[in-house]
Structure 1
């Protein structure tokens, strides 16, 4: 035989049943983009930077990327990935992150083009100037190798 339930236990059960049937989703707004309460500017979530600090860091990473440090653009894109992913969130930070993404993409394309040109073209592409362009001949010219 079942023991009679107390009045407080019955109220809790009624409240739970009422909440589950009337609103299964406790979040009334299913779109997280409309409110920035659920979206954080950094990948750290609530442990990361506030929005004011994020603007400062994003601006610094973006500007220092022009000082021949394009890997900071990649770090900027990685760290502020939620800003890059959600196009309508954080309008003050977004221009720096999009600029960093464009800058890193251009830098990567130029670096890959340069590397492929030298590795695939080589002496056939550059002719006799090739010996002056490559670095492995520099040690021979300066007498830094022991096998000469």
Structure 2
């Protein structure tokens, strides 16, 4: 989709929709929203809807960073401690690696 061909009110609608959809445990949409609308929010000449688009871009970027940090922390902790957690670690594993007691 080419944003340059869209009207500003449709851009705001789409940006808001991506932001709200990110709350459905889809933080990838926040990342897409922040990247896709960055130019509209910060590089284009001023237009009426730009202030709201800027707000959604900033909040989407912050949400994506927080989700990435949290997911990275969980993956690191889980990978380092799964074997030490014994049966509890095995129960929350999707696949149990062979060769690790």
RMSD: 2.3
Spell out the pairing of 1:63-74 with structure 2 (5 A cutoff). 63-74=20-31
Q: 1:68 to 1:102 in 2, by over 3 A?
A: same
Q: 1:45 to 1:130 in 2, by over 3 A?
A: closer
Q: Which residue of 1 aligns with 2:99?
A: none
TM-score, reference length from structure 1: 0.54
Query: CA contact under 8 A between 2:22 and 2:28: conserved in structure 1?
Result: yes
Q: Which residue of 1 aligns with 2:93?
A: 134
Structure with bigger RCO (C-alpha 8 Å, 6+ apart): 2
* Counterpart Cα distance in 1 of 2:89 and 2:3: 51
Spell out the pairing of 1:80-119 with structure 2 (5 A cutoff). 80-86=37-43, 89=46, 90-119=50-79
Q: Per-residue CA shift, 1:90-140, capped at 9, x if unaligned?
A: 21211111111111111111111111111122222x244222221224xxx
Q: Is there any run of 5+ residues in structure 1 with no aligned partner, and where?
A: 1-43, 138-148
Query: CA contact under 8 A between 1:77 and 1:84: conserved in structure 2?
Result: no
* Counterpart Cα distance in 1 of 2:3 and 2:17: 20
Q: Which residue of 1 aligns with 2:17?
A: 60
The structure number with the bigger radius of gyration is: 1
Aligned residues: 92
- Displacement of 1:67 in angstroms is 1.0
* Counterpart Cα distance in 2 of 1:109 and 1:115: 10
